[in-house]
Amino acid sequence: MTAQDRTRSSLELLLDISRELATTLDMHTVLARVLDLSVANIGAERGSLIILDANQEPVDAAIVVGGRMLPHTVEQLKGTLSHGLAGWVMRNRTAVLVPDTSQDERWMRREDDSAERTGAKSAMCLPLTARESIVGVLTIVHPEPGVFTDEQLALLRAISDIAGMAVHNAQLYTSLENAHRRYRELFEDSIDPIFVTTLSGQILEANRQAANVTGYSLEDLPKQAVQDLHAVRWDRVGAGFERLAGSLTVRYESELRVRNGAKLPVDVYARRVEIEGAPCLQWILRDISERKDLDALREDLSAMIYHDLRSPLANMISSLDILASLLPLDENDTLKSVFQIATRSTERMQRLISSLLDIHRLEAGQSIANRTEVSIASLVGDALDSVVPMVDTKHLSVTQELAPDLPPAFVDSDMIRRVVTNLLDNASKFTPMNGVLRITACRKGEWIEVGVSDSGPGIPPEAHEAIFNKFTRLHTERMPKGLGLGLAFCRLAVQSHGGKIWVEDEPGHGSRFLFTLPVAKTA
C-alpha cells in the first residue's frame, strides 16, 4: 500500500469514527465504540479506556481483551493510574509508544507478562483531551514487541482527539441528565405547590403538590393562568411581570384559590428561570395557614390580656393614689421606696396595656384624633423620668443634644411619649453598667428627627427590619426577654403620624434608633 493509499485509508477511518461517535451521547456506548474501533483498526489484541472526572479520578472504563469486555472496579482503575503507564501519561499529558513493555519501567507488569506466558508486548498510550482538560487515557496493546509504528501512533492520536470530544460531550450530557433528574425529583417531591408558567403567566407545568392543594388535575392545571389561582401583587411583580428579571426573587403574601372555592393563605416566591433554553416564570406557593392561625391566637391572647388586666390595673392605680394621701411617705424612707416601686410598676403595666390597645386600633386603620402642638423637650423629659430608676441602678450617663429653637411637633403627645419611653427603656436594658445613653433631636425640613442611642451589643443588620414586627425578639443570651411588642408599637405610632422609624448601628458598638415627626404647621 502506498503512502497516499494509507493516508486515504486513515482519513476514511477517522471519518467513519466521527460519524459513529456522533450518533450517541450515552457514556457506556461511547466507551465501547471508541475502544472497539481503536483496537480493530490498529490491529491490537487488547485495550483500555479509563474516564477521568474533573479531579483526575477514574469514574468509568472499558477494558477489552480478545474481543471480550472485562469487568473492573474503581479500585483497580486507581491502581492502574497510580503505578502503570496510563498514570504516567495522565500526569505528563504526553502520548507514549512502548516497543517492548519488558524494557519500560512505566509498564505495570502482571502475571501473564512473564516470559513463560505471554511475554513482552507492544503498547501505545495516549491522553484523551477536550478543551485543554484530560478526560481519559487510552491504552492499546499488541501481544508482540516492536509492532507499533509512529504512523500508527499518529493515527491513534487522531482517533483519541475525536474520542476526547465524544467523551466530553457524553460527560456533559450525563451531567445534564443528572441535573435534570435531580430537578425533577426536587420539583415533584417538594412539599410546596410549584408552577412553571410562560412570561405571561400561563401554566406550563405543575408538580404533584400543586394538584393536591388546588384540587385540579395535572392535566387541567395547564389550562389555567397563575393569576387565576391567586391574587398577584402587581405592585411587586410589575405589570406584565417585568420586575421578575435576572436572578431576583419576589416574595409576597396572597391567597390561593382552590377548586372547591376555599382560599388558602400562602407566601408566594416568584422568579424568572430558563428551562431548556426558554425563559419561564417559576412560582412557589408556601402554605402559611398555621402561621396565620398562630397570629390569630396571639391577637386573641393580646386582646384577652388587655381586657382582663385593664380593670384590675385601674383599681390598683386608684388604690395607690388613695394610699399616697393616707400614708406618711415623707417620714419613712423604706415605705416611700416600696411605694415608688409599686407606682413605677403600675405605670409600666399601664404603658404596656395602652400600647396593646394602640396596636389594635392602628392596625385596624383608625386615625390619630388627639393631635396637639407638643414640645419635644417636654416629651423627652417625661420619658427620662420613667427610666430614671434603671439609669441610676446601672450608673448610666445620659446626654441630651436637642437643637435650640426646636419647633413643636404636631402629634398625639401620650402616644409619642410612650414611643420615646419604649426606646429609652430598651436602650437602658441593653446598655451595660456605666454605659452611655444619648438623645438627639433636630429639624429636617418639615420633620423633626429624634434619635435614641445606646452603648450596648448592637443589632445584626439582618434583623434591622424584623425587630419592628410584633412578637419578634432577638434570641441571644445578652438580650433581655420581653413580648416583642414595644418596637412594633413604636413603628405603628410613628407611621400613623406620617413619619418613619429605623435603626442604625454596628454590632458591638451600640444601636441608634431614629424616627421622624411632623412639625406643627404654625412653626
pLDDT 10s digits, 390-401: 888 899 999 999
What is the reported pLDDT for 83?
A: 81
Banded model confidence at residue 474, pLDDT cuts 50, 70, 90: low
Asked if 493 contacts 411 with a C-beta cutoff of 8 angstroms, the reply is no
Q: Which helix (H) or strand (E) holds 409?
A: strand 409-412
Mean pLDDT of 121-130: 89
Rg of the chain taking only CA atoms, in angstroms: 39
3-state secondary structure at position 29: helix
- Amino acid identity for residue 347 in this structure: E
Place of cell 402629634: 411
Report, as an integer, the average pLDDT of 205-225: 91
- Residue 475 pLDDT more than 60? no
Pairing label, strands 58-65, 447-453: unpaired
Provide the grid cell at 46.
487488547
pLDDT of 305 above 70? no
Number of residues assigned to the chain? 523
- pLDDT band for position 225 (50/70/90)? very high
Across the strands, what pairs with 514?
451, 502
pTM for the predicted model, two decimal places = 0.46
Cα 437 from Cα 218, distance rounded (Å): 61
Residue-wise pLDDT for 316-357, tens only, equals 888 888 887 887 777 787 877 888 788 878 877 777 777 777
* Ramachandran angles phi, psi of 116, nearest 5°: -70, -20
Residue 279 near residue 272, CB atoms below 8 Å: yes
Question: What 3-state DSSP class applies to 450?
Answer: strand
Beta-carbon contacts of residue 339 (< 8 Å; ≥ 6 apart): 320, 323, 324, 327, 329
Taking the C-alpha atoms of residue 467 and residue 479, their distance in angstroms, rounded to an integer, is 12
Flag whether pLDDT at 443 surpasses 80: yes
* Residue that wins the pLDDT comparison between 6 and 395: 395
Place of cell 500526569: 91
Residue 177 has pLDDT above 70, yes or no: yes
CA distance 275 to 170: 20
Task: Write down the residue that cell numbers 386573641 correspond to.
Answer: 300
Residues 173-203 as b/e (b if ≥16 CB within 10 A, e otherwise) read ebeeeeeeeeeeeebeeeebbbbbbeeebeb
User: Phi and psi of 91, rounded to 5°?
Assistant: -70, -35
Torsion of CA 228, 231, 237, 242, to 10 degrees: 30
Mean pLDDT of the chain: 83
Buried b (16+ CB within 10 A) or exposed e, 344-383: eebeebbbbbbbbbbbeebeeeeebeebeebebeebbeeb
Grid cell for residue 227: 393569576
* Banded pLDDT at 514 (limits 50, 70, 90): very high
Grid cell locating 440: 438627639
Mean pLDDT check: name the lowest of 61-70, 109-118, 200-209, 311-320.
Answer: 109-118
Q: How far is CA 292 from the centre of its chain?
A: 23
Does 113 have pLDDT greater than 70?
A: no
Maximum CA pair distance of the chain? 130
**Residue 354: what pLDDT?**
75
Report the pLDDT value the prediction gives residue 398, as an integer from 0 to 100.
Answer: 92
Helix (H, G, I), strand (E, B) or coil at 417: helix
> What mean pLDDT do residues 165-191 have?
77
- Given strand 447-453, what is the order of strands in its sheet? 397-402, 436-444, 447-453, 511-518, 501-505
Q: Are 503 and 423 in contact (CB under 8 A)?
A: no
For residues 428 and 387, the answer to whether their CB atoms sit within 8 Å is yes
Which of 102, 100, 108 has its CA nearest to residue 78? 108
The three-state secondary structure class of 348 is helix
| Residue whose grid cell is 413605677 | 344
* Alpha-carbon span 179 to 11, nearest angstrom: 37
C-alpha cell at 401: 443634644
Which of 25-29, 185-189, 268-272, 454-458 is modeled with the greatest confidence?
268-272
